[in-house]
Every structure is written in structure tokens, then in C-alpha cells.
């Protein structure tokens, strides 16, 4: 695959799910990340989101690959705030699992913890000179490889299980961290 074809393919995949971000979006995200790090007194140990370039991996095992190549878009930019969010989510998940019934637990999530969790989901995608954000719900994205992605998915799974508990079937969650 030559560079022109690669650039066309990555551009197609980005524009499917992303739109160009407003000019000040990255600055707003970075400012909020710095405020969280400052409040937790860890500014000297945490970086703001790096502008790592997006890339694609080719799905060469798919049918008709030679005529119509398909790929997976990878966004390597992730917020270090996700490390903090991961710890908060792990605590919440442990309390939920420890409780006897999904609808019979009480856990306290402070407004600041909620802010950290949602801040970790504000991600940007970078390609050449452009900054992109999700086309739908640009302020919330759980990217593949994010620091708290597995915990976020586990929270969603626990919620779904709680909604299914009235059905008399045996269900559970499977978590594969790679």
C-alpha cells in the first residue's frame, strides 16, 4: 500500500466517526486536566493528553481485501486522567460486586470523582495538522486502550446485569484484559 492510498484510507475512517474539533476544544480539555491534577496535588507527576497521531491497522483477513481494504482506526492519544478515573471506578466496582444484590447497594461518588471519570472520556484524535472529536457525543468516548476502558465497560456490564436480575436466567460478565 502506498502512502497516498494509506492517507485516503485513514481520512475515510476518521471522517466516518469524527468531525473536525472546534479550535479551542483541546485547550479546554487540557485546562480541565491540569485543574484536576492540581487539586489532587499530582501536577508534577502527570502529563496532559499527548497529541499522538492516529493510525490504522489493515484487516487483511477480510473477504475482498485486495479490492476493498478495510481497517481499524487506532487513536493512541489518551488522557492520563484516565489513570485516576481507573482507581475511582475500581473502588466503585468493588463495592457493587461486594453487595448481595445489584439494586441493593449504596456507593457514594463525589461530584469531583464524577468529574474526573467524565473528564477522562473527553478524547481528541490527531491526524497530520488536524484535531478531531467524535461526530456524535463529542464529550464522551471510551477509546480502545484507554487507561480506564476496561473498568468503564465493567460498570456498563454491571448495570446491564442489574437490569436483567428479575429474569430467571443465569447470566454473568466476562472480562478479557488482553
Q: Give the per-residue pLDDT at 38.
A: 94
Contact 125, 140 (CB under 8 A): no
Residues 59-107 have pLDDT tens digits of 888 888 777 888 889 988 888 999 999 999 998 888 877 764 554 555 6
C-alpha cell at 171: 447470566
Identify the H or E element spanning 7.
helix 3-17
- Give residue 176's pLDDT band: very low, low, confident or very high (50, 70, 90): low
Residues 121-134 have pLDDT tens digits of 998 889 988 899 88
The yes-or-no verdict on residue 16 having pLDDT over 60 is yes
Contact 88, 115 (CB under 8 A): no
Contact 74, 57 (CB under 8 A): yes
Query: Could you identify the residue written with the cell 493528553?
Result: 49
Q: Give the per-residue pLDDT at 100.
A: 46
Contact 153, 89 (CB under 8 A): no
Average pLDDT over residues 13-19: 92
Residues 130-147 have pLDDT tens digits of 899 888 888 888 888 888
Average pLDDT over residues 140-160: 86
Tell me the chain's radius of gyration from C-alpha atoms: 19
Share of the chain above pLDDT 90, in %: 38
The yes-or-no verdict on residue 171 having pLDDT over 50 is yes
Q: Burial-class residue 166 by CB neighbours within 10 Å (0-12, 13-18, 19+).
A: exposed
Mean per-residue pLDDT over the chain, rounded: 85
Residues 21-68 have pLDDT tens digits of 998 999 999 999 999 999 999 988 888 777 889 999 988 888 887 778
Please choose, from the candidates 55, 49, 52, the residue with its C-alpha nearest in 3D space to the C-alpha of residue 74. Answer: 55
Amino acid at each position: 500500500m502506498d502512502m497516498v492510498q494509506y492517507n485516503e484510507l485513514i481520512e475515510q475512517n476518521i471522517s466516518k466517526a469524527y468531525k473536525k474539533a472546534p479550535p479551542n476544544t483541546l485547550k479546554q480539555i487540557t485546562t480541565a486536566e491540569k485543574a484536576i491534577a492540581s487539586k489532587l496535588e499530582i501536577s508534577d507527576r502527570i502529563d496532559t493528553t499527548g497529541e499522538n497521531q492516529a493510525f490504522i491497522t489493515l484487516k487483511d483477513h477480510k473477504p475482498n481485501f485486495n479490492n476493498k481494504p478495510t481497517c481499524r482506526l487506532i487513536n493512541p492519544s489518551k488522557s492520563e486522567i484516565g489513570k485516576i478515573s481507573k482507581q475511582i471506578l475500581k473502588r466503585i466496582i468493588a463495592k457493587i460486586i461486594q453487595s448481595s444484590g445489584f439494586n441493593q447497594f449504596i456507593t457514594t461518588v463525589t461530584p469531583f470523582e464524577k468529574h474526573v471519570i467524565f473528564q477522562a472520556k473527553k478524547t481528541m484524535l490527531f491526524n497530520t495538522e488536524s484535531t478531531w472529536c467524535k461526530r456524535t457525543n463529542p464529550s464522551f468516548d471510551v477509546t480502545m486502550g484507554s487507561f480506564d476502558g476496561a473498568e468503564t465497560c465493567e460498570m456498563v456490564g454491571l448495570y446491564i446485569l442489574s437490569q436483567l436480575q428479575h429474569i430467571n436466567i443465569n447470566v454473568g460478565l466476562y472480562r478479557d484484559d488482553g
